[in-house]
């Protein structure tokens, strides 16, 4: 089973019309793949049948959101990125009396707690606020609770150490049965909230924006639009951190940033 681009566009267009969620400028190959899987799992045979069902059935749409928004994440993903933050970004952030950070597309929150740990170790968490946003409300709920499976902690701890962490990582959480809960002190200054990068506007001014492994799911046009949104939302000399394979290549604002760490995709807004 497969379908043409036009059919896919029509489906995404009707979802946008009915629910206000705009996936029309997502990179097609990945959306196509996830829709095909979802249809197979739901035993729906044809795309037009699926289209008719999804605009009528809000529950089905909610399930669909879980499928198209890829929730895969980990703590200190790409440890060298976080190491570079320690070395190149934290000291600069520390010069501000009050620090505002936006983690866009935070999924289930592992990345947010990683950033909070860096801020804490730098001694600046208490004067920081982290806004953590995503379109997926279920993921945000998990992020807010900060409760994770214990079996992932081994690799998270290894990542933390590779990222230059020298504290005892287990001090940051309490283990209970098969899960761990991150410390309240880390959560205090985090605000979790829904925000859709494809349709919602800028809502504050930040010294640091992190958006990793979200832009890869967008086409060039939407990437450009979202980088514009970040540009508007950053103060001058604010930092932008992207995923290891993402870049500003397709952004009309690329000349307005300089590379703080080319390899780790950390940029600074210079004008």
Partner 1 sequence: MLGEKIKYKAIVIGASAGGLLALSTLLEIIPSNYAIPIIIVQHRSKEPRGLLEEILQSKCNVKIKQVDEKEKIENGIVYIAPPDYHLLIENDFTFSLSVDEPIRFSRPSIDVLFESAATAYKGNLIGIILTGTNNDGMLGIQSIAANNGLTIVQEPEEARFPTMPLAAIHTKKVKHILTLAEIQTFLLEINTD
Ligand X SMILES: C[S@@+](CC[C@H](N)C(=O)[O-])C[C@H]1O[C@@H](n2cnc3c(N)ncnc32)[C@H](O)[C@@H]1O
Residues that bind partner 1 in the complex, under the rule CB under 8 A: 2, 5, 27-30, 32-34, 70, 72, 213, 216-217, 219-220, 223, 243, 245-247, 249-250
To partner 1, the closest distance from the beta carbon of 73 in angstroms equals: 8
69-77, 144-152, 167-175, 255-263 -> range binding ligand X (CB under 6 A): 69-77
Does residue 241 interact with ligand X by CB under 6 A? no
Does residue 236 interact with ligand X by CB under 6 A? no
To ligand X, the closest distance from the beta carbon of 111 in angstroms equals: 5
- Of 126 and 193, CB closest to ligand X: 193
Q: What is the DSSP letter of 81?
A: H
Work out which of 51, 79, 105, 238 binds ligand X, going by CB under 6 A: 105
Beta pairing, strands 173-176 & 179-182: antiparallel
Query: Six-digit token pair at 95?
Result: 């010069």
Does residue 223 interact with ligand X by CB under 6 A? no
What's the CA gap between 88 and 259, in Å, rounded? 11
- Of 186 and 240, CB closest to partner 1: 240
Does residue 128 interact with ligand X by CB under 6 A? no
Who's near 200: CB < 8 A, 6+ residues apart? none
Query: Do 204 and 101 form a contact (C-beta atoms < 8 A)?
Result: no
To ligand X, the closest distance from the beta carbon of 106 in angstroms equals: 6
To ligand X, the closest distance from the beta carbon of 259 in angstroms equals: 20
Does residue 101 interact with ligand X by CB under 6 A? no
Residue nearest ligand X, CB atom distance: 69
Helix boundaries (H) for the chain: 5-19, 28-41, 47-56, 58-68, 79-84, 90-93, 110-121, 137-145, 153-162, 184-187, 220-233
Whole-Å CA distances, 267 to 85, 212, 236, 240, 243 = 11, 13, 12, 5, 12
To ligand X, the closest distance from the beta carbon of 211 in angstroms equals: 7
Query: Do 143 and 192 form a contact (C-beta atoms < 8 A)?
Result: yes
Question: Phi, psi (5° rounding) for residue 73?
Answer: -160, 175
Does residue 85 interact with ligand X by CB under 6 A? no
Binding characters for ligand X, 176-215, by CB under 6 A (x = yes): --------------------xxx-------------xxx-
Whole-Å CA distances, 217 to 176, 184, 243 = 35, 33, 12
C-alpha atoms less than 13 angstroms from C-alpha of 45 in its C-beta half-sphere: 0
Does residue 269 interact with ligand X by CB under 6 A? no
- Of 79 and 146, CB closest to partner 1: 79
Does residue 224 interact with ligand X by CB under 6 A? no
Who's near 180: CB < 8 A, 6+ residues apart? 147, 148, 149, 150, 153, 173, 174
| Site residues (vs ligand X, CB under 6 A) | 69-73, 77, 105-107, 111, 134-136, 139, 196-198, 212-214, 217, 243
């Amino acid at each position: 089973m497969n379908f043409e681009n036009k059919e896919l566009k029509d489906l995404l267009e009707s979802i946008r019309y009915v629910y206000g969620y705009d996936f029309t400028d997502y990179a097609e190959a990945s959306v196509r793949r996830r829709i095909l899987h979802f249809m197979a799992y739901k035993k729906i045979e044809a795309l037009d049948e699926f289209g008719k069902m999804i605009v009528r059935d809000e529950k089905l749409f909610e399930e669909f959101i879980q499928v198209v928004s890829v929730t895969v994440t980990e703590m200190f993903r790409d440890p060298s990125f976080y190491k570079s933050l320690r070395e190149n970004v934290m000291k600069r952030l520390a010069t501000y009396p009050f620090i505002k950070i936006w983690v866009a597309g935070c999924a289930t929150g592992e990345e947010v707690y990683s950033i909070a740990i860096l801020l804490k170790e730098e001694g600046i968490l208490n004067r920081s606020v982290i806004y953590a946003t995503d379109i997926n409300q279920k993921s945000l709920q998990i992020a807010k609770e900060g409760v994770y499976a214990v079996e992932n902690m081994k690799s998270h701890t290894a990542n933390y150490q590779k990222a230059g962490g020298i504290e005892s990582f287990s001090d940051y959480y309490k283990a209970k049965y098969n899960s761990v809960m991150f410390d309240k002190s880390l959560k205090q200054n985090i605000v979790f909230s829904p925000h859709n990068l494809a349709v919602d506007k800028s809502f504050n001014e930040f010294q640091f924006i992190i958006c990793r492994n979200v832009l890869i799911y967008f086409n060039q046009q939407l990437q450009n639009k979202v980088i514009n949104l970040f540009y508007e939302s950053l103060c001058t000399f604010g930092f932008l951190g992207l995923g290891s394979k993402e870049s500003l290549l397709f952004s009309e604002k690329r000349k307005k940033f300089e590379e703080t760490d080319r390899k780790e995709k950390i940029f600074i807004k210079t004008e």
